[in-house]
Amino acid sequence: MAATTTRVLRLLSLLQDRAHTGRELAERLDITDRTLRNDIQRLRELGYPVHAERGAIGGYRLGRGSSMPPLLLDDDETVAVAVAVGLAEDGSTGIADITENAARALAKLEQILPKRLQRKVTALRNATAIGPATTGSREPDAPVPAAILTTLASAIRDGATVHIGLNPADNEIEPYRMINWQRRWYLVAYDLETHSWRAIPVAQVQRAVAGSRRFAARSLPDDDLVAFVMRHIASTGWKVHARVTVLAPAETVIARINPAVGVVEAVDADTCILLTGADALETIAIYLSMLMMDFRVDGPPELVAHLRTLARRYTESVELAP
- pLDDT tens, residue by residue, 55-104: 666 689 888 765 556 666 677 777 777 777 666 655 554 444 556 767 77
- pLDDT tens, residue by residue, 44-57: 888 888 888 876 66
Burial state string for 255-289 with b = 16 or more CB within 10 A and e = fewer than 16: ebbbbbbbbbeeeeeeebbbbbbbeebebbbbbbe
Nearest-CA neighbor of 155 among 115, 114, 214? 214
Count Cβ atoms below 10 Å from residue 109 Cβ, excluding itself. 18
Instruction: Give the chain's domains with CATH numbers.
Output: 2-62 (1.10.10.10), 75-130 (no CATH), 146-226 (2.30.30), 238-319 (3.30.70.250)
Q: Which residue(s) pair with 190 in the sheet?
A: 174, 197
Q: Do 308 and 282 contact (CB within 8 A), yes or no?
A: no
For residue 67, the model assigns a pLDDT of 57
Count Cβ atoms below 10 Å from residue 131 Cβ, excluding itself. 21
pTM of the full structure: 0.60
Q: How far apart are the first and last CA of the chain?
A: 82
Helices (H), the chain: 2-17, 22-29, 33-45, 75-89, 99-112, 115-127, 146-158, 225-236, 250-256, 281-291, 301-319
